[in-house]
Structure formats: C-alpha cells, structure tokens
Structure 1
Amino acid sequence: MANPAPIAYSTAAFRREREADWQAFEQLVQRLESGSIRRLSDDDLLALPRHYRATLSSLSLARSTSLDVALIDYLESLAMRGYFLLYGIRESRSHRFVQFFRTSWPAAVRALWKETLVIALLLVLGVAVSWSLVAHDPEWFHRLVGEDMAQGRVPGASVATLRDTVYGEPKGGGLHIFAASLFTHNSQVSITAYALGFAFGLPSMFLLMYQGLPLGSMMAVFHQAGLGLDFAAWLSIHGTTELYAAILSGAAGLKIGSAFAFPGHRSRMTAAAEAGKATGAVMIGVIIMLLCAGLLEGFGRQLIQSMTLRFAIGGTLLAFWLSYFYIPRNRLAQQAGPA
C-alpha cells in the first residue's frame, strides 16, 4: 500500500513551484469580473493569456498525477472563470435588453409565421362558427359564453343595457383592479396554450379556437342590437394587442408540438427542447403585450369614450405590431441576429 506522505510532499512542492502564476491570474480575473478592465495596464493584458495557459498546464498536470481533489477543484474553477473572461461573450444587461427588443423578439416571431397563420385562422373560424350559431339560435349563446363573461350582455338585452356595457365603467372594483384581473386571466390562457403544445400542438389549436367562440357570440348579440361598430371599437382598443399575443402563444405551442410530432433525426425530447428554446423570446414578449393589453383594457377603453378614437388606437397598435415584427430590420440588426 502506498505511503500518503510522498503525495503530500508532491502536492506541497507543486504548489511552491506554480502557485505564484495562479495567484497572479486570479487577481487579474477578479479585477475583470469587478468591471475594472480599464484599470489593467498593457503588461497586465499581455500577462493574462500567459497566466491562463500556465493555469491550464497546472490543471492538466494535477489531474495526471492525481494530486489532492481540493487543488484540482480550485484550478478547474479558476480555469473556467478565465475561459469565460477571455473567450466568452460579455454583454451588459442593458445591451441584452436592447438586443431583445431590437432583434431577438422580432426574429423569433418571424420564424413562427406559418404557425401564426394557422392559429389566426383557427381563431377566426371559432369567431365565425359561434357568430353563425348565435345569429340563428340565441340559445347557443348560453352554451358558449359563461355567466361571468356575459355580465348582462345576452340575447334579448335592451340596447341601453348593451350600450352601457361598452361605455360604462366595469363592475367589481376600480379600474386598476379590473386591469390586474384581465392581465392575470389572459396570461394564464396564453401560458396554458404554450405549455400544452407538447401534446402534438392539439391543445394549443383547440384552446385558441375556443377563445374565438365567446367573441363571436358577443359580436352576434351586439350586431343584432345595432351596436356592432360600438362593440368592435370597444374591443379593438385592446383586442388588437391581446388577441395578437394569444395567437403568438398558440403559435409557439404549435411549434413545440410540431417538433415533438416530427422530430426528424433527433429524439422527440431533444426536438421539443430546441423548439422551446427558440420560442422562449416569443413568450417573454407575449407577457409584455398582455401587460399592455391589460392596461388598455382596464383603463383606456373605459376612459376613452369616442368610438372613432378607440378604432384609431386599436388600428395604430395593430399596424405597429405588424411593422415591428415583419418589416425587415437594417443590415446591421439582421447580422446581429437573436441575442
């Protein structure tokens, strides 16, 4: 059985011979990690790669000679920190924030254009089917729209009652409470549509089509009362953002489901994981859109009573989202790609 004393002696001698390089490298690494790169002299910058190579050499020798584990762990940690400082992409939080809005989010949305079109068509189909059903038989309304959502906007309601629902203040608390509840509800629906996408995308498609059923039912009721344009204006001020966000969440879920169903040469889990990573930026943006929609729905559509102004705001927002996502960026932005 080997005597442990020589190993301890070898480790001590190893440290005496090489530790000065490690300490010098660690000091430089700490200065760089603290953001003080401008304080490094030219000699320090020239010494940085030399100390890094010396640390890697020491790590390789320590592993091959089976020195103590604590020393190997220390050298591995130091080498890893140095690697990211020398070869990693170092970007500030503010730069990543700007890059997300400038390139990452729009690029991720453009990559989902096929899935976005499919989900949008399904939503329109849900609206058209429910409108037709309620227009021919008002009893369908109660099967498609819950009482909590209806809030008096039902077939047979007076024109005055229906008008008050699109021009009066919401019931059940102040506007800030109303906006918060709308944001919470819409976020839950969108996240659910995305999270269930792994089931071959079917729940995402059905959920977005289902979202169109109460909308079409409401449109039929207001149209029959001669308030179709009033309802459309009331809806457009926030709906162009909210429905677009819902469509994008469904498209992201469908992307994951498609990758899971047709993985190609990859495993299903790998394909789904890659699709999830690619659509992550879309879902971050969806939450931002829903926050904007919640504020518009909770405050804007109640405080703004002009039908023309409501249409103008909704149309402007729709034009903004379409141009933001689909108009090509300048060459520099495209070369930068997703962050």
Structure 2
Amino acid sequence: MSPGSFEERRAAEWVELDRLITGAEKGKPEPGVEELPRRFREACADLALARHRMYPGQLIERLNALVIRGYKLLYRSRKRGWESAVRFAVAGFPQAVRTEWRLFWLCSALFWIPFFGMMASAHFDIDWIRAALGADGMASMEAMYGGGPDQQISHLREEYGSNFMMFAFYIKNNVGIDFQIFASGITACLGTIFYLIYNGIQLGASAGYANYACNPTSFWSFVAGHSSYELLGMIVAGMAGMRMGLGVLKPGRLPRGRSIAEAAKVALPLIYGAAAMTAIAAIFEGFWSAQPVPVDIKYGVGIAGWVLHVAYFLVMGRGVRAA
C-alpha cells in the first residue's frame, strides 16, 4: 500500500481521534469520547506500521504527535497518585466491600463466633482459655493488664522504649496476621478459614482472660481506640483471601489460572483497604492507645471508630460510578 493510499484510508480515523483528544484536553468531552481508548490503540498500530514501511517523515511525525497527545491524556491519571488514593478511599473501597457482602458476613462469622465463644468461656469454663493462651500468654496478659493504666504504660515503655517502636512492632505484627489470612486463601479457602477462626479464638481468649484475671479497664481502654480498624481490617483481608480461594474452587468455564487472575483483580481493592486499616490501627496502638488519656475519652474514641466504620461501609460510594 502506498503512503498516499494509507493516509487516504485512515485519515478520517485520525481526524476523529484528534477531535476527541482536543475536547478531552479542554475539559469538554465530545460525543463518542468512550471510543477514545480504542481509537488510540488503532493510531498506535498505524504509527508502528508507518515506521515499519518507512513512510514519509511528515506522515510519521503527524501520527507520532497524535499518539503522544493520546498517551498523555489516557495515562495522566497515573501521575495523580493522591487523587486516585482519595477516590479509592471515598468510593472504591466501600463499594468493593459491599459488592462482596456475602464474603463479609461469612468471614465475620468465622471470626466473631469463636471470639465471643472464648470470651463467654471465662464465665463457664476457664480451662478453655488456659488451653488457648498457655502459661506464657497468661503471664504476658497479667504483666500488661494486671494493674491500672499507669502500670500498663510503664510496662509498654520498658518493652518498646518509644511510641515509634511500639508503632513499628504493631504494624509488623498486624501486617503479618493479615498477610497470613489473605495469602493462605489460595489453598482453596482452607488457610483463610483456619486463620480467621484461630485469631478469633486467640483474641477472644485474651479478652476473656482480661475480664477474668486482669484489670478489665486497663485492657479495654487500651484496645478500644484501634479495635475497629484492626478487627475489621482482618475480616476484609479474609474476604480477599476467600475470593482468591474461590477462584481456585470455582473456575467455571475459565482455565484455573485465568480464574485465579480474575479473582485477584477483585481481591486487590480489598487487600489495599485492609492494609490501610491495619496501618491506621498500628498508628493508634503506637501513638494513642498507651497514652495517659482519661478512660472515658478512650472509650468514646473507640465507639466513634465503630460507628464511623459502619456508616463508611454502608453509605460511602453510593451513587458514584465504579471505576
């Protein structure tokens, strides 16, 4: 095909792409703007073909300029990291959680039933808690929560040295737990189920033992502020792990590898959100939970955290078109 025939055949498409790009650059999208990505890909193919056939430089420069403008327009969102992060926090994350509401309730049941069961065992049969925590676990609970808040703060300062070191320890611990819950979901959901139940038992046993043998006020005032971020983040990580596991268990008509890849796309917003919640929980644990703040204020912050999370997941992102 001669350069003239090639240009005559494709010129209308280039003019249309130029019109769509110009409108988008001015912030006034033209009709048919949804076709811009397809037309951009076609222009890229035309540019590659023109270069391969060594068409005149003027034609190649025209196509190259058009492709550069299209690239800057389509991929400029990658440079808006903060804008994308805010959009995800305001709409994308709560939408992703609501979309997987069945997994939310399943993971909640897997965690909360063992949690409250172990808490209740403190009133009926403390041996269950003793078996779950062991001698070292009970001794650690008594050292941290056996006395009043002053003893707890002193113990934490001796163990970690500074607020920042507490933050570093807790973010390492929390990320490790969430990663276990998420990554083990690839074993056909079995790993995620195990770790959700296990953490429900351990945390419920700790809460039950604090009520039974320690100072409950010291324990609950410490965990109140970060509890909603940490525990809900754990459940969201479980949702991501279960979605990966379902990609293994139920590939449908897709090859199993493709099914897992598609499941990963759905799980990605969930694990991003869980990571953010875990980081916020660690900030609270390191810089707030062990501070000498009146107990009523700590409880108030904790209750506000749970109320805000319920409102966030139920309300945020409604009416906003999913990306």
State the TM-score bracket (shorter-chain normalisation).
0.7 to 0.9
| Counterpart code for 2:263 | A
**Alignment counterpart, residue 257 of structure 2, candidates 252, 257, 269:** 269
Larger Rg: 1
Q: Distance in 2 between matches of 1:323 and 1:195?
A: 29
Q: Is the 8 A contact 2:103 2:239 kept in 1?
A: yes
Q: Is the 8 A contact 1:242 1:289 kept in 2?
A: yes
Structure-2 change in CA distance of 1:172 and 1:57 (3 Å) = closer
SS in 2 for 1:277: helix
Structure-2 change in CA distance of 1:188 and 1:78 (3 Å) = farther
Question: Is structure 2 residue 233 aligned with structure 1 residue 245?
Answer: yes
Q: Is the 8 A contact 2:104 2:236 kept in 1?
A: yes
| Counterpart code for 2:104 | T
Structure-2 change in CA distance of 1:83 and 1:248 (3 Å) = same
Q: Percent identity?
A: 20
Structure-2 change in CA distance of 1:328 and 1:182 (3 Å) = closer
| Counterpart code for 1:165 | Q
Structure-2 change in CA distance of 1:145 and 1:113 (3 Å) = farther
Long gaps (5+) in structure 1: 1-9, 19-24, 39-51
Q: Distance in 2 between matches of 1:217 and 1:162?
A: 21
1:160 alignment partner in structure 2: 147
**Alignment counterpart, residue 258 of structure 1, candidates 223, 232, 246:** 246
Long gaps (5+) in structure 2: 8-13, 27-39
Q: How does 1:128-277 map to 2 (within 5 A)?
A: 128-131=116-119, 136-138=125-127, 140-141=129-130, 143-144=132-133, 147=136, 152-154=140-142, 159-160=146-147, 164-165=151-152, 169-170=156-157, 171-225=159-213, 227-277=215-265
Q: Distance in 2 between matches of 1:61 and 1:218?
A: 67
Structure-2 change in CA distance of 1:89 and 1:326 (3 Å) = farther
Instruction: State the shift of 1:53 in Å.
Output: 11
Q: Deviations over 1:237-263 (max 9, x none)?
A: 111111110110011111121232112
Instruction: State the shift of 1:202 in Å.
Output: 1.2
2:312 alignment partner in structure 1: 324
Most deviating of 128-137 and 318-327: 128-137
SS in 1 for 2:307: helix
Q: Distance in 2 between matches of 1:166 and 1:123?
A: 29
Most deviating of 182-191 and 218-227: 218-227
Q: Is the 8 A contact 1:167 1:305 kept in 2?
A: no
SS in 2 for 1:108: helix
Q: Distance in 1 between matches of 2:100 and 2:48?
A: 46
Q: Distance in 2 between matches of 1:271 and 1:279?
A: 12
Instruction: State the shift of 1:78 in Å.
Output: 4.4
Q: Distance in 1 between matches of 2:301 and 2:41?
A: 60
Structure-2 change in CA distance of 1:82 and 1:209 (3 Å) = same
TM-score (norm 2): 0.73
Structure-2 change in CA distance of 1:309 and 1:263 (3 Å) = same
Instruction: State the shift of 1:128 in Å.
Output: 3.4
Q: Deviations over 1:159-204 (max 9, x none)?
A: 4389833785442321110111101111122122112212111111
| Counterpart code for 1:141 | R
**Alignment counterpart, residue 298 of structure 2, candidates 294, 300, 310:** 310
What do you get for the CA RMSD once the two structures are aligned?
4.4
Structure-2 change in CA distance of 1:89 and 1:223 (3 Å) = same
